[in-house]
């Protein structure tokens, strides 16, 4: 397998892991919106594992590129890195939104 093929394969795996993370945090938000905070937290933790896996692949590709005199950077690799950054930012926002949902739910319990 050529270097470009290896980079593209790793990039596709990065995109896959990031996409899995996005699906999991969307499911997590559905749970939290319905008051199932424990399941929401479990799904969000799985999403964070997926994005961590994507980051590990990204780090490996970047380390390999640094070691090369003329590194190969593909469009797919750039897209994969962009996807990871977007999903990572979304997960951080989702975590904050879920905290707001929990705080709001606890406030309602105190009122009732």
Question: pTM value?
Answer: 0.87
Cβ-defined contacts of 104-108 (< 8 Å, 24+): 105/35, 105/37
Tell me which of 42, 79, 95, 102 is the catalytic residue.
Answer: 79
CA atoms within 13 A on the CB side of 106: 7
In tens, the pLDDT along 47-94 reads: 999 999 999 999 999 999 899 989 999 999 999 999 999 999 999 999
What is the structure's pLDDT at 109?
61
- List, in sequence order, the alpha helices (H) in 34-74: 37-67
Distance (Å, whole) CA 5 – CA 20: 22
**Residue 79 annotated among the catalytic residues of the structure:** yes
């Amino acid at each position: 397998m050529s270097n470009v093929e290896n980079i593209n394969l790793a990039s596709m795996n990065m995109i896959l892991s990031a996409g899995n993370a996005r699906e999991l945090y969307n499911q997590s938000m559905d749970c939290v919106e319905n008051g199932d905070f424990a399941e929401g937290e479990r799904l969000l933790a799985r999403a964070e594992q997926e994005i961590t896996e994507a980051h590990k692949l990204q780090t490996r590709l970047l380390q390999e590129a640094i070691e090369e005199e003329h590194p190969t950077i593909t469009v797919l690799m750039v897209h994969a890195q962009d996807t990871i950054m977007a999903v990572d930012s979304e997960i951080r926002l989702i975590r904050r939104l879920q905290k707001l949902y929990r705080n709001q739910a606890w406030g309602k319990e105190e009122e009732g």
